[in-house]
Structure 1
């Protein structure tokens, strides 16, 4: 499987064993990877008509109470149709699906949620796989997805890991699950290969916000957009989509000097430090967990995440697999219409 051609050999890309993305310092990556929106200087890139038509179909936006937090929920389509719950990846938000969902809403009641600590959802003191699963069901019920029978969950990247956990732990809640470019870690950390990789990755840690080093506030929207990049690093296949996502990844915040407001990212910068993975680790400690619901995996054919291969994947052998040509990890940015076509084709005949 080929890596993104813009990424140089030996560049620090990918994920750590605990699924944190590897961060990079300025200058380590090509400009089109490190700062894809910088050349536009705050201007929105031109977009094709299909995209403009899709985002013109504004969803209904609401907040859902779950586990003591308010979660952002977007919905399209009629209640009573089969339900689809869309879950985004790490540090992302519900609007990552806003140009995909309208093309599914003719046949489905579609909901897109922002995970706790991301998007417009509230932050928490701790995060856990089991809590994300409860949040997903709360959002699915609030959206009326169960009015059309058990819904199908669809999750990208980190959101796909949450969907997989929910499918294994709570099969009664869903009809099927679709994962979109989900990697499940490297070799076991107690093996020689796992220890070698962990040490290499520790040496590469840079620019990760911590409790004593807060997320940066940028003085202007233009400056903030210029800092947007995809994780793991890759060229953005469609810059108009990257710009749409980036603008909805930001919120107003007081400037560091206390004079006026600037812009900062909406996600909780300390989410990884607060994430409890113990239940997920226990589920997979003894090998592949039993998953009773049908599973499908759609992935980019040149995704760096997928270079991990199947050796350590917990997915069942009968998982349906669909490769999207000429796509890296962020399939909805690289090949959005191919992703729509794959989802529509798959869901028209599956699960039987």
Structure 2
């Protein structure tokens, strides 16, 4: 992974992404789901779920911090990264993928689930569908009860997305020149470059992005809040997509008050903008 590290990256980042994870895959509902793991199997779990149009590599610089004491697992949801595409997607299917991967990776003991953006919605669905899996859920700038977040990728990236069977580039460099975060906000160049370089793949027609542009086309099972027994933390950026009304909705009716943290100056893509601040929040949860 060291080839994905730019010269301006600080030592903590270089050390993290040069920590090689285990790479594995399993079949869930007929699709091959890829994932990467750090730490000892059977240790308390830390499950990391990426956002829409992203992949497990978004956690490469965060996961190793916890590998000494935790079994850390980051998966590629179907339609993303190196996992298979499906004819149709749902949060329920993704929740089953999370649970199956956590079980296969032996990361279910006292597990904490951290989900960014769409990954937070998957986390809420997972906490409802598999209530014995996680003891604490951390939502990272996840928009609640608003399908606009998903449509936004479609509307704002007509060239960068991959309509099924179309839009290829002649080289990885040509593709990476088109790499955009949506919504855009200043991020750490070295973190952005690291995930961008893992976001393209070559097939028979050239180079394309590693996500199915149709992943959000038919999502209707958007959850509003986790079960009342769930322990919840909400992390959001000052300039992100989360509103006070959304926080009120997702934290309502919990047996224990949620912990809510605003990161000053941050936008939506907190793992690439303020990873150290995000890790401070995860440290507190753990």
Map of 1:32-181 to 2, 5 A cutoff? 44=6, 46-146=8-108, 149-181=109-141
Q: CA deviation at 1:80?
A: 2.7
CA RMSD of aligned residues (A): 2.5
**TM alignment of 1:148-297, pairs within 5 A:** 149-186=109-146, 207=158, 214-235=165-186, 237-255=187-205, 262-273=206-217, 275-277=218-220, 280-281=221-222, 284=224, 290-297=227-234
CA contact (8 A) 1:93 1:249 kept: yes
Deviations 1:169-197 (A, max 9, x none): 332222111111111145xx9xxxxxxx9
Distance 1:221 1:117 in 2: 20
- From 231, 251, 269, give the equivalent of 1:330: 269
In the aligned structure 2, how far is the partner of 1:88 from the partner of 1:276? 17
Structure 1 CA distance for aligned equivalents of residues 157 and 189 of structure 2: 26
Q: Which runs of 5+ in 2 are unaligned?
A: none
TM-score for both structures, normalised by structure 2: 0.87
Q: Secondary structure, in 3 states, of the residue corresponding to 2:280?
A: helix
Find the counterpart in structure 2 of residue 300 from structure 1: 237
Aligned-residue offset at 1:75: 0.3
Once residues 151 and 69 of structure 1 are traced to their aligned partners in structure 2, the CA distance between those partners, rounded to angstroms, is 24
Question: How far is 1:120 from its partner?
Answer: 0.3
Counterpart-to-counterpart distance in 2, 1:206 and 1:60: 32
Residues in 2 aligned to 1:221 and 1:289: alpha-carbon distance in whole angstroms: 40
Distance 1:45-1:175 versus aligned 2 partners, 3 A rule = same
Q: Which structure's CA Rg is the greater one?
A: 1
Query: Equivalents in 1 of 2:208, 2:87: separation in Å?
Result: 20
Conserved in 2, the CA contact under 8 Å of 1:214 and 1:269? Answer: no
Higher relative contact order (CA 8 A, sep 6+): 1
Size of the aligned set, in residue pairs, is: 274
Three-state SS of the structure 2 residue aligned to 1:339 is helix
The Cα offsets for residues 236-281 of structure 1, whole Å up to 9 and x where unpaired, read as x2111111101101000234xxxxxx311010112222x342xx35
Change (3 A) 1:210 1:79: closer
Hey, what's the Cα distance between the residues in 1 that align with 2:100 and 2:11? Answer: 35
Quote the Cα distance in structure 2 between the aligned partners of 1:43 and 1:177. 30
1:316–1:70 distance in 2 versus 1, CA, 3 Å: same
TM superposition shift of 1:50 = 1.1
Question: Compared with structure 1, are the counterparts of its residues 43 and 215 closer, same or farther at alpha carbon in structure 2 (3 Å cutoff)?
Answer: farther
1:272-307 per-residue CA deviation (whole Å, 9 max, x = no partner) reads: 22x342xx35x65xxx5643211111122221x124
SS of residue paired to 2:25: strand
| Residue 205 (structure 1) shift | 6.7
Say if 1:311 and 1:92 are closer, same or farther in 2 by CA, change over 3 A: closer
Aligned-pair CA distance for 1:128:
1.2
When normalised by structure 1's length, the TM-score is 0.71
CA distance in 2, matches of 1:206, 1:294: 35
1:43–1:151 Cα change, 3 Å: closer
User: Aligned in 2, Cα 1:253/1:180: closer, same or farther, shift over 3 Å?
Assistant: same
Instruction: Report the CA distance between 1:74 and its aligned residue.
Output: 0.5
